[in-house]
Structure 1
Amino acid sequence: MHAAATEAHSAALRTLLRSLGQIVLQANAFTGACLLAAWLLWEPRLACAAPTGAVAANVSAVLAGYSDDDLHAGLYGFNGALAGLAAFSFIADNATAAAVAILAATGTAWLLAPWSRWLRLRGLDYFSSPCLIVTWLWLPMTASAPSSSTLATAHAHADLASGLLAGLAQTAFAGGASAGVLVLIGIAVASPRHALCALTGAALASAEHLLLGATASSFNAGLLGFNGALTALALAEYGLVWMLGGVTLAALLQAGAASVGLPVLTAPFVAATWGVQWLKQRRALMLYS
């Protein structure tokens, strides 16, 4: 009995950590542990927020009878984790943030099945879109100014290495070069190639934003590179041209949204990746028709 209980607890912990790792598209428990360490280093509130959201989403997935294999891979928990991170990043009061995190994470889990089915029929993956939909519903009503967990100290000049690493940290709502190093290590352990893709995506997107007039302080805060890093990770298996094209599209979408003050979060990454998936499908149909 004791051995069985220990194994069950270990499996639950691995599922939780994989849910965190899926934030950077890695079904790896060590990646999740690295993200947890990054949150502890940057803002301990986030180290509570992400597991809270992941647990709420995973429990909801179990109650809904979702696939055990997908559950253990962290595919149901990561949008919940992101929902928790968003709540604690934009809501200053801890009690309110916790309540919103649990409700929003539960919402992502219940939305996931019908939404992912609709997208799958069109050849698209859901990525962080359930979190985006749920977050956009409460954000206008509840959110205050972003808390310290979403902002980094501004500098007068661009610091290349720190800015790129901060961009990796921002994929998980963290910030700073040290947190970015932990995120990069987590990705590299799961896939060194994916780590290189994430760095490439962050670098290209940041350069394009700076050419479009973004400030050095935004670069140093990691706000220019995170959508590019996520897009590169999502399109890593599509080939270099598709990946770089997707990163460029994500940068353009983010810059356009920023110019009108929209809170897009990871929407440029999701929209750009969907665009590449759609174009690749159309190209394949043209070649074989």
Structure 2
Amino acid sequence: MHAAATEAQSAALRTLLRSFGQIVLQPNAFTGACLLGAWLLYDPSLACAALIGAIAANVSAVLAGYCEDDTRAGLHGFNGALAGLAAFSFIADNATAAAVAILAATGTAWLLEPWSRWLRTRGLGYFSSPCLIVTWLWLPLVTRVAQQASLANEPTLSAVQLSSGLLAGFAQTGFASGALPGVLVWIGIAAASRRHALWALLGAGLASVVHLLLGASASSFDAGLLGFNGALTAIALADCGIAMTLGGVVLSVVLQMAAAYYVLPAMTAPFVLATWSMQWLTGRFPRGTAVAEAATRAETRKRVTSPASFRRPG
């Protein structure tokens, strides 16, 4: 009896950690543990926010009768974790943030099944879109909003700043910042897939360079705000070919810059929209079938790999 209870607790913990791992598209408990470590290192309240959101979403998925295998893979919990992180990032009062986190995470779980079914018929993954939709619904009701990246040019970055800013982009996938939390997140990705870790580095680096060339500020780079959408896009499109992957990363930069220009709370929408665009384009070329098959194989491995992160307010 005791052994059965211990095994059940262990399975629940692995499910929770996989929910965190799915934020960076890795259905891996160790990856999730690395993200948890990054939150604890940067701000323990973020760890609490992710736990509240993931638990609420997973419980809602169980009550709704969703596929248990998908729940154990973290596919039903990671949007909830992101919803919790968004609530604590945009709402100053912790009690209010906790209440919104629970409600928003539950909302992502109930939205997930019909929304993902509709997207699958069009060959698209849902990624972090449920959390984006739910967060956009309540965000206009609060007064604390994310600060948009400045477009003012600043002095040339040193090698140390370049490394620190690049790594901070990985931390931003979970609303954290800083080089050390970023290292933990990248290690978590590498533990699950060295190939994805390399693509993530390339995506974050390319996105950051393009942003800086277009006039983004060095302070935004230091905070990791320029690279995280590119990193997530590169991971999501890693099986779709080099051209599609790099094209998706550049498109994510364009979308993020457009959102900043119009002072819109983009969060991970540039990553999601860029990835959808590349998935849609796979059916528009004569040789697109092979790319589409690669994307299908990748999605079958993770079911509907659905990460995301948001842009953390300054």
Q: Is the TM-score greater than 0.5?
A: yes
- Residue of structure 1 equivalent to 2:57: 57
Q: Secondary structure at the match of 1:92?
A: coil
Q: TM-score, normalised by structure 2?
A: 0.87
- Residue of structure 2 equivalent to 1:118: 118
Pair 1:146–1:250, CA change in 2 (3 A): closer
| Letter of the structure 2 residue corresponding to residue 37 of structure 1 | G
Tell me whether 1:225 sits opposite 2:231 in the alignment. no
- Residue of structure 1 equivalent to 2:198: 196
Pair 1:287–1:43, CA change in 2 (3 A): closer
State the Cα distance separating 1:281 from its structure 2 match.
2.0
Q: Can you list the C-alpha shifts for 1:60-114, whole angstroms capped at 9, x where unaligned?
A: 0000000011000000000000000000011111100000000000000000000
Q: Are 2:58 and 2:71, in contact at CA under 8 Å, matched by a contact in 1?
A: yes
- Residue of structure 1 equivalent to 2:296: none
Q: Are 2:146 and 2:265, in contact at CA under 8 Å, matched by a contact in 1?
A: no
Q: Are 1:18 and 1:26, in contact at CA under 8 Å, matched by a contact in 2?
A: yes
Tell me whether 1:246 sits opposite 2:248 in the alignment. yes
Q: Are 1:61 and 1:109, in contact at CA under 8 Å, matched by a contact in 2?
A: yes
More helix by share: 1
Q: Aligned partners of 2:30, 2:286: CA distance in 1, in Å? A: 36
Q: Secondary structure at the match of 2:239?
A: helix
State the Cα distance separating 1:144 from its structure 2 match.
1.4
Greater RCO, CA 8 A, separation 6+ = 2
Pair 1:286–1:264, CA change in 2 (3 A): closer
Q: Secondary structure at the match of 2:66?
A: coil
Q: Secondary structure at the match of 1:237?
A: coil
Pair 1:286–1:108, CA change in 2 (3 A): closer
- Residue of structure 1 equivalent to 2:260: 258
Q: Are 2:42 and 2:178, in contact at CA under 8 Å, matched by a contact in 1?
A: yes
- Residue of structure 2 equivalent to 1:237: 239
State the Cα distance separating 1:193 from its structure 2 match.
0.8
Q: Are 2:208 and 2:226, in contact at CA under 8 Å, matched by a contact in 1?
A: yes
| Letter of the structure 1 residue corresponding to residue 240 of structure 2 | Y
Pair 1:188–1:286, CA change in 2 (3 A): closer
Select between 126-135 and 237-246 the one with higher mean Cα deviation.
237-246
State the Cα distance separating 1:283 from its structure 2 match.
2.0
- Residue of structure 2 equivalent to 1:206: 208
Q: Secondary structure at the match of 2:108?
A: helix
Q: Secondary structure at the match of 1:238?
A: coil
Q: Aligned partners of 1:56, 1:13: CA distance in 2, in Å? A: 14
Q: After superposition, where does 1:102-141 map in structure 2 within 5 Å?
A: 102-141=102-141
Q: Aligned partners of 1:50, 1:164: CA distance in 2, in Å? A: 23
Q: TM-score, normalised by structure 1?
A: 0.94
State the Cα distance separating 1:28 from its structure 2 match.
0.2
Pair 1:225–1:114, CA change in 2 (3 A): same
Q: After superposition, where does 1:81-160 map in structure 2 within 5 Å?
A: 81-146=81-146, 158=157, 159-160=161-162
State the Cα distance separating 1:282 from its structure 2 match.
2.2
| Letter of the structure 2 residue corresponding to residue 193 of structure 1 | R
- Residue of structure 2 equivalent to 1:150: none
- Residue of structure 2 equivalent to 1:216: 218
Q: After superposition, where does 1:181-192 map in structure 2 within 5 Å?
A: 181-192=183-194
Pair 1:287–1:76, CA change in 2 (3 A): closer
Pair 1:78–1:157, CA change in 2 (3 A): same
In structure 2, runs of 5+ residues without a counterpart are: 148-153, 291-314
Q: Are 1:157 and 1:217, in contact at CA under 8 Å, matched by a contact in 2?
A: no
Aligned residue pair count: 281
- Residue of structure 1 equivalent to 2:25: 25
Q: Can you list the C-alpha shifts for 1:123-142, whole angstroms capped at 9, x where unaligned?
A: 00000000000000000102
Alpha-carbon RMSD: 1.5
Q: Can you list the C-alpha shifts for 1:179-210, whole angstroms capped at 9, x where unaligned?
A: 00000000000011111111100000011111
- Residue of structure 1 equivalent to 2:293: none
State the Cα distance separating 1:156 from its structure 2 match.
5.8
Pair 1:167–1:67, CA change in 2 (3 A): same
State the Cα distance separating 1:146 from its structure 2 match.
4.8
Q: Aligned partners of 1:108, 1:287: CA distance in 2, in Å? A: 32
State the Cα distance separating 1:284 from its structure 2 match.
5.1
Q: Secondary structure at the match of 1:74?
A: coil
- Residue of structure 2 equivalent to 1:74: 74
Q: Secondary structure at the match of 1:124?
A: coil
